[in-house]
Chain A
Amino acid sequence: MTLFHRSLWFLASLALLVGLIWGWQILADARVLPRAFFPGPDLTWRALKRGVANGSLLSDTLTTLRRMALGWALASLIGVALGAFVGTSAWARVWIAPMFEALRPLPASAIAPVAMLFLGLTDTMILTLIAFGALWPMLLTTVHGFSNIHIRRREVATSLGLSRSAFITKIALPGALPDIMGGLRLGLTIALILVVVGEMVTVQGGLGARILLAARAFNAPEIFAGIAVLGVIGLLTNAVLSLVETYALRWQRR
């Protein structure tokens, strides 16, 4: 795509966003729902400004970002390492991979009570929750990427006398990278969902707790403000990861 086309698309999606916010304002002004339950962009914006002014919104956002990043990094590390091991070892594929299939459909939120029981209402519990939930896409995409190495690449490696570790770092890992990047992106989305779930359960700061407390106080603009910040976090983190992906996989675009 040319730069011109891309900027055109960017403008179009910006226009759509503006349109949606405008529609939201019209809907709120029409008083279809009571203003106390369904505030418009104006009240939400005011709540945002208030939060920024007293500093609480920034610290909650940073707390959420930190937990999300840590949990996601933990899941990525475990997922890619374990996935590489299972994907390259024939016996592990036979013996361990079926277990993944059994554990994977478990909704991560279902393990929240278990995590709470063992870890209490702590940061560790939130990280565990995120790591468990975000692990699966990374694990499965990495296994897939590693077990689908073209036979010719294996033959090239043996013919060159490449060591097993060199094979993994120089052939298997770069070859699996397109798959792994997809898993990292999926994992990021899951991490964002689970950090909110975890914070709502533990109520130890963060945007999730902020939204929960606002709901208890029937403070609808505050809820919407929190949701808006979460949306921006989702957009920005995904954009950053897309940039990283574009760079790491630049050889694919040629």
Chain B
Amino acid sequence: MSLSEHATSAMDAPRDTVLTVQEASVRYGATTVLKDLSLSLNRGEFVCVIGPSGSGKTTLLRLLAGLLTPVSGSVDFRGQPHRAPSRDIAIVFQDYTNALLPWRDAEGNVSLALEAAGVPRAERRDQIHALLRTVGLVGSEGKFPAEMSGGMQQRLQIARCLAQKPDVLLMDEPFGALDAMTRQKLQDELLGIVAESQVTAFFVTHDLEEAIYLGDRIIALEPNPGRVSQIFDVPLPKPRNQLTTREMPEFLRLRRQLFDFIERYEQ
């Protein structure tokens, strides 16, 4: 599928799209980091983004978050121009240590999102416990981030994001700092959470297999200036399974294609 075809199809189906980027360019000073990029996220889909380092993955995520405004083109959220961050778009950062508040325990960190949304104190407790249960942190309610493993801290950040009751969950290499076992566990938990909450997921990763395992669609960015190079549909059945899914011929075929794509930019 070519780039222009994709842009057209996105405009043809506005009902199902949550976030739409049209011909957006982003510049830092004199350098154009994203150029005429078009993209749309459909409600409930899981979109993964790959690309060599410096191709603008983080910049694209920040654009979708409303933390950046394009110099040209537009970003629409639920059909309205998207100019500032919204509570309905949650961000899971890779550096959970900085994103969490070290002086608040697990409950307190989740509570921050509820306090920001003006949830009355009496209702917070039950919601917090339900969220911590969702991410598998029962029993750690009173722990401070420094007392938790990396995986637990990232779970906690995800819980705080879910507390926003977001329509869209943006994640920037959220499992990049975790070991392989923890990562696989969190991948499965995330798929479960996304399926259940019907949130739209946008997931940046440099792990190609992770992108295939999680995604319904994979967007490959190329650098200088950052733009969409290719879009891969992932026709793998759900729910996915760490063993069987990764052995399917379709998985291996995609893996081959993505490695071929990324290899062009290595070295």
Contacts and interface: CB of A to CB of B under 8 A. Distances in A.
Contact of B112 (A158, A170, A175): A170
Contacts of B90: 159
B102 A252 contact: yes
B101 A171 contact: yes
Contacts of B252: none
Contact of B89 (A156, A159, A162): A159
Contacts of A171: 101
Contacts of A156: 91, 93, 99
A254 B153 CA distance: 14
Contacts of B95: 152
A66 interface: no
Interface in B226-241: none
B181 interface: no
B115 A170 contact: yes
A161 B85 contact: yes
A18 B104 CA distance: 43
B91 A155 contact: yes
Main secondary structure of the interface of A (DSSP, over half): helix
B86 to A, nearest CB: 8
Contact of B144 (A150, A152, A166, A251): A251
Contacts of B85: 155, 158-159, 161
Nearest to B89: A159
Given A166-B116, A251-B103, A254-B144, A155 B87 contact: no
Given A152-B95, A166-B116, A254-B147, A161 B87 contact: yes
Interface in B67-120: 67, 84-87, 89-91, 93, 95, 98-99, 101-104, 112-113, 115-117
B101 A174 contact: yes
B164 interface: yes
A181 B144 CA distance: 21
B146 interface: yes
B116 A152 contact: no
A160 B144 contact: no
Contact of A160 (B84, B87, B102, B146): B87
A251 B85 CA distance: 30
Contacts of A170: 101, 112, 115
B116 A158 contact: no
Interface in A161-198: 161-163, 166, 170-171, 174-175, 177
25 contacts: A152-B99, A153-B98, A156-B99, A159-B65, A159-B67, A159-B85, A159-B87, A159-B89, A159-B90, A159-B91, A160-B87, A160-B112, A160-B116, A161-B87, A162-B112, A163-B116, A166-B115, A166-B116, A170-B101, A170-B112, A171-B101, A175-B101, A177-B103, A252-B102, A254-B144
Given A152-B99, A153-B98, 6 more contacts: A156-B93, A156-B99, A159-B65, A161-B117, A163-B116, A175-B101
Query: Can you list the 10 inter-chain pairs with the closest CB atoms, starting with the nearest?
Result: A152-B98, A160-B116, A254-B146, A251-B103, A161-B87, A162-B116, A158-B85, A174-B103, A159-B85, A150-B98
